[in-house]
Amino acid sequence: MPLSDGAWGACQVTAVKGSDIVAVALAWHSAEPPTLADLVGVGPLLASHHSWDPRPEHHGILPDDPVPPDFVWLGNLPVPADLTGTPNSFAGWRSLGTQVVLQHWWDHDVPDPVKSAYKSAATRGQVTVDFGAGPVDLAAATARLDLTGGMPPVPATGPVRWAAFDQLPRCTEVVWSGPDRGLVAALAERPLISSLTWFDPPATLDLGGTSLRSLNLRGHIRDLRLPRSLSQLLLSQSDNETTVTVADNGRWLSLHLEVDDPRPTIPVGLEQVRTLTVTGNGMLSAAPARAFRQLQALSLRWQAAPGSLLDAEALADLEQLAVLELHDGYGIDPDILPELPSLQHLDVYGLRRSAVPPLRARYRDIRLVVGGAKSDTWLAANLDNPLRDWVDDDERGGRAACQAYAEAVRAIDKLPPTHDVDAARPILQTMVEKLNAVQARYGIIDTLRREEAADAFLRLAARAGVPGDVADEWFDDWRAF
């Protein structure tokens, strides 16, 4: 397994039953790819980083998760007798490599006092934290700090007391907004903070001295320097050009672009990216993918109707493309895709039911996964409904949710254009109450569906002129899921 830190790891398949696969990460980390002989006698990776109790990284592989195209088959070795039982959990292939990287980093790069503080925080209870706007009590084991939400409070201007992080040694994820104000320097001093979401970041941002592994930038940025440790990067793209400086031109990055324009300006400096996700609205273009000639896995995700693909012929230029995922591309004709000689896995979720037979006929020789197919009649009534995919979880519950949203849209559109918040309130509350009833009866609102419900609610609230902070409060007060 090529690893995100530039090294190599290894994993072993321990069981195959039908389409179910179980695999274990091995305790191997090397600068060069191992041979089969190197791995004789190598045991499973026992992950003990962060709060993990040492146990083998032995997982059932998530259904329909394809073997990454850059994994290298070495051969067969006997399965250790103690790994023939039930796996610890379910995960994707890539998570095996992630655990190897995290354990190696924990063992070799994290100072012992930092590790000790992390472990001991689990039993410390509440601590007093003051980032400069007044003390508050938080759990010492707090893992995520949203410093944009007012708890803990941060001064609106002036210095921030970043030393408050020291009271929270288990904090690994931070949400921030606006100017730097010393945040980058604080992150560089704290190697356990590995995830950062930054709204409205500065146009020039140097994160090269941090230990971040996941970065989500929501705003315009011109020059960006990234640490070698980073493995996941999300950029909200606009018309401005972004220049990125990162090791090996992004070869080890999983890049996610959220775009408004079907043909956005592509960041410079990421030419070696091999895994790309593009999320957009009703129309996406394949043309920007040409900038990533080493691309092996591409996921295109539509968030609105009609779900059409432009410039599909550009995919033919991606000579190493082995995995293609299309989610909610309801406007795609199967014939639009060009011949892709390296394609091994095609995942199509959310499509017209009439498109399924031609897809199956065309892609008989690769691994094809199709889900979420819907009839033309259903789509004619619900293509613009953001809750339409709930019918894939439960048909009756999903239909009830779609109806609740559709009724709210019609009621809000009948309101006078005066943005009367009081008039919109009962309409929005009725929608949430109907979703509460859906959850009570069908139990289909998990974390993902809750986020989709929130997005739909906030969209309707904005349509009725309800301020965002008021809408957030209403939704949290009314929902029972």
pLDDT average, residue stretch 54-66 = 90
pLDDT average, residue stretch 174-193 = 96
Check residue 239 and give its pLDDT: 62
Confirm whether 300 is domain-assigned: yes
Check residue 331 and give its pLDDT: 93
Q: How many CA atoms lie within 13 A of 164 on its CB side?
A: 26
Distance CA 276, CA 299 (A): 6
Instruction: Grade residue 469 by pLDDT with cuts at 50, 70 and 90.
Output: confident
Confirm whether 367 is domain-assigned: yes
Residue type, 56: P
Distance CA 212, CA 129 (A): 23
Instruction: Grade residue 84 by pLDDT with cuts at 50, 70 and 90.
Output: confident
Check residue 55 and give its pLDDT: 87
Instruction: Grade residue 86 by pLDDT with cuts at 50, 70 and 90.
Output: confident
Residue 285 neighbours by CB under 8 Å, 6+ apart: 262, 263, 309, 310, 311, 314
Check residue 109 and give its pLDDT: 93
Q: Which of 86, 109, 132 is the last residue of a domain?
A: 109
Greater pLDDT, 88 or 467 = 467
| Residue 196 confidence (pLDDT) above 80 | yes
Check residue 180 and give its pLDDT: 95
Confirm whether 144 is domain-assigned: no
Do 291 and 350 belong to one domain? yes
Could you tell me the pTM of the whole model?
A: 0.87
Do 413 and 335 belong to one domain? no
Name the domain count of the chain.
Answer: 3
Distance CA 277, CA 300 (A): 6
Percent of the chain scored above 70 by pLDDT?
99
Check residue 150 and give its pLDDT: 80
| Residue 299 confidence (pLDDT) above 70 | yes
Distance CA 396, CA 115 (A): 49
Do 329 and 407 belong to one domain? no
Confirm whether 54 is domain-assigned: yes
Give the max Cα distance, the chain: 75
| Residue 240 confidence (pLDDT) above 90 | no
Check residue 470 and give its pLDDT: 92
Do 237 and 375 belong to one domain? yes
Residues present in the chain in total = 481
Question: Domain range holding 437?
Answer: 391-478
- Provide the CATH number for the domain around residue 322: 3.80.10
* pLDDT digit string, tens, across residues 421-449: 889 999 999 999 999 999 999 999 999 99
Percent of the chain scored above 90 by pLDDT?
84
pLDDT average, residue stretch 185-202 = 96
Check residue 238 and give its pLDDT: 62
| Residue 224 confidence (pLDDT) above 90 | yes
Do 369 and 240 belong to one domain? yes
* pLDDT digit string, tens, across residues 316-374: 999 999 999 999 999 999 899 999 999 999 999 999 999 999 999 999 999 999 999 99
pLDDT average, residue stretch 390-413 = 94
Neighbours of 238 (CB within 10 A): 16
Check residue 152 and give its pLDDT: 92
Do 351 and 420 belong to one domain? no
Confirm whether 91 is domain-assigned: yes
- Between the alpha carbon of residue 465 and those of residues 320, 421, 458, 468, the distances in Å are 48, 7, 10, 9
User: Rounded to 5 degrees, what angle do the CA atoms 144, 124, 175 make?
Assistant: 10
Check residue 306 and give its pLDDT: 92
